[in-house]
Structure 1
Amino acid sequence: MSRDDALSWGGDDDPTLDVGSRPAPEPEPAPGREAAPPALPLGFTAVGRGSDEVGRIEADGTVTLPGEPAPLSNAVLVSLGILGGAYALFTVGGIIGGLRLQGTAQFLVSPVGYRFAFWLAVVAPALWFLTAYVLTRGAKAWVRLVWLIGGLALLIPWPFMFVGAVGQ
């Protein structure tokens, strides 16, 4: 009696005993077409040589190929919405604060210089948001959020903060 005999039952190789179906073998790729790259489920990270060629299997079963941008999570989407709203409020604050200072500022700066600075202050939040969003497409989500939060700290509408919407 051999060691493998303990792991088998007499007649295991009888073809009439196959009652289950076996999965169909993967079809060979057509000539001239490459096989799909390997993919890992979410939560797993490929490391080592060739790891940049490994795709991701999303929760719904779709495969994201390497090089495609990762979909944003719900928390990041909500954060982007909140930050976008804050940038829109900064634009409104720049308009209100700049218009409140119009009479005073023209004593210190030429009217052309004032108009240029006014429109730059109005457009700056939208430009920062768009630039940070586009330039951080390939980066991690936290990097994008840090750049957007940094822009909020940099672009505070000071005229609105000091003068406000009503009086001085």
Structure 2
Amino acid sequence: MTTPDDDDAFRWDGDDDPTLSVTPDAVAESSAVTAPDPEPVPASEEPADAEPAGVGNVALVAYGVLGGVYALWTAGWVIGALRLRDYIEGQSGTVADFMFQGSMWLGIFAPAIWFIVSLVGGRGKAAWQRFVWLGLGVLVLVPWPFVMVGVVGQ
């Protein structure tokens, strides 16, 4: 069902309305009649459901770069831990024990866990605090088995 207001868009009626004029006189009149500026609302009286400011473009790019570093760290842990496991099994002739398997998988998933917890846990914090935690994770979670054994193994 259409209302008369919807049908107005399809007709030329009302084009002689002076408020629709774009002449310099009409622009001067419309700028002279402006509403007064509303008083600023103190921070304590702001509505609770107000959305926080969004993340800037630079921060998004930095999150993407750090996410890529964490993905490389995960790949390094996979390669290094599997090479180390093969090295341990080759030297001792036994299957790597349960504790080694658990720590290997924890090491593999640690970069992804750190990245997610830093972003989700720092949601209400300032952006620089999230970057501090992400930078600390890049330093702490270096894939040492990959660094020490390498891709080809020694």
TM-score interval for Structure 1 and Structure 2 normalised by the shorter chain: 0.5 to 0.7
1:138 to 1:161, Cα distance in 2 relative to 1, 3 A: same
Matched, 1:134 2:107: no
Partner residue of 2:34? 23
Following superposition, the deviation at residue 138 of structure 1 comes to: 1.0
Stretches of 4+ moved more than 6 A in 1?
Answer: none
Task: Select 2:43's aligned residue among 48, 51, 57.
Answer: 51
- The AA in structure 2 aligned to 1:158 is W
Q: Secondary structure at the match of 2:29?
A: coil
Partner residue of 1:5? none
Q: Measure, in 2, the Cα distance between the counterparts of 1:137 and 1:37.
A: 31
Q: Secondary structure at the match of 1:131?
A: helix
Partner residue of 2:52? 69
Partner residue of 1:163? 149
Q: Measure, in 2, the Cα distance between the counterparts of 1:37 and 1:122.
A: 55
- Which moves more between the two structures, 103-112 or 119-128? 103-112
Unaligned runs of 5+ in 2: 1-27
More helix by share: 2
- The AA in structure 2 aligned to 1:136 is G
More strand by share: 1
Q: Measure, in 2, the Cα distance between the counterparts of 1:162 and 1:85.
A: 22
Aligned length: 123
Unaligned runs of 5+ in 1: 1-18, 27-35, 40-49, 56-64
Deviations 1:66-100 (A, max 9, x none): 75232111111111000000000000000000010
Q: Measure, in 1, the Cα distance between the counterparts of 2:54 and 2:99.
A: 43
1:160 to 1:37, Cα distance in 2 relative to 1, 3 A: farther
Q: Secondary structure at the match of 1:101?
A: helix
Q: Measure, in 2, the Cα distance between the counterparts of 1:37 and 1:82.
A: 42
Contact 1:97 1:157 in 2 (8 A): yes
Q: Measure, in 2, the Cα distance between the counterparts of 1:37 and 1:67.
A: 18
Larger RCO (CA under 8 A, 6+ residues apart): 2
- The AA in structure 1 aligned to 2:109 is V
Q: After the TM superposition, which residues 8-19 of structure 1 pair with which residues of structure 2 at under 5 Å, given as runs?
A: none
Partner residue of 2:65? 82
TM-score using structure 2 length: 0.68
Deviations 1:19-41 (A, max 9, x none): 71323679xxxxxxxxx9957xx
Deviations 1:80-133 (A, max 9, x none): 000000000000000000010113335499521111011101100000000010
